[in-house]
Amino acid sequence: MSDVPFDPAFTAPPTAAAASRPGVFAMIREDVACVKARDPAARFTLEIWLTYPGVHAIVWHRLAHALWGRGHRFSARFLSWLGRFLTNVDIHPGATVGRRFFIDHGAGVVVGETAEIGDDVTLYHGVTLGGVSWTAGKRHPTLENGVLVGAGAKILGPIRVGAGARIGANSVVIEDVPPEMTVVGIPGRIVRGAEHPRRIAGRIDLDHHLMPDPVGEAISALVDRIDFLEMRLARLAGDREPSVEFEVLPERAAAAPTTEPASDQPVSH
């Protein structure tokens, strides 16, 4: 992804690290309230409270993180384990999570200890914010405000994903992502920049069907090239259309026996 320069001027630290931060229960209320804006299936608040495992996971994490910050490390880890057991979402109590965080479907998400998540971030099921080193210190990703990470994506190492970026489903990201970029593939590559605005109208961008397909585009280019070469080869052979005998089996066409036409003259003795 080095083909797009990463301008530090556009990089803002995640607001999760800001000094002014509402209390734990105020943040939990925001986490629940943001679901309606990001999930068309959400109908009313009680349903969200009772049936959304992603919401349950962030509630458990808010409580565990508060204990972690007060030095109650074992209690925090135990509470985090209980939340994982109940929701199948594993968020380390040391991870820093901003406001209005939403995990859609809430299954198989893993967030490492030194991960930092900004405000208004959305993760889909199967996302991993993991590390690539055994050494202590910062070893997990930083997601800035408004980042959306598709299902099954893996973001690995102490890298930074810029504000408003989108990570396509099942992508593996191992390098910094500038703000407002779209990344897909393994390894992740930038396929859409800020010059292509997305239609969000104040809500989360759910136009997943408009995600670029670089592999499909490459295959389409190869097919076009093959068609062009076939036409040129057919014209060199003197035909308007390609010939199987000429293109595929030229040796068989050359080795075919020639038959002489039968003579109408009677045989003389």
Query: 4 by DSSP, 3-state: which?
Result: coil
| Fold annotation for 8-207 | UDP N-Acetylglucosamine Acyltransferase; domain 1 (2.160.10)
**245, 238 Cβ separation under 8 angstroms:** no
pLDDT value at position 33?
80
- Name the region of 38 (left: φ>0; alpha: ψ -120 to 50; beta: rest): alpha
Phi, psi dihedrals of residue 149, rounded to the nearest 5° = -120, 120
Query: Measured between alpha carbons, how far is 163 from 184 in angstroms, rounded to an integer?
Result: 16
- Please report the beta strands in the chain, taking only residues with DSSP state E, as ranges in sequence order: 90-91, 96-97, 102-103, 110-111, 116-117, 122-123, 128-130, 142-143, 148-149, 154-156, 160-161, 166-167, 172-173, 182-184, 189-192
Strands 122-123 and 102-103: parallel
| Tokens 């489903």, residue located | 169
pLDDT value at position 250?
52
pLDDT value at position 205?
56
The series of mean pLDDT values per 10 residues for the chain, 269 residues long, is 43 46 80 81 83 88 91 91 91 90 88 90 91 85 91 91 89 89 85 57 52 72 87 77 51 54 55
- Where would I find the H helices in 44-163? 45-51, 53-69, 73-87
- Where in the chain are the domains? 8-207, 217-254
pLDDT value at position 161?
92
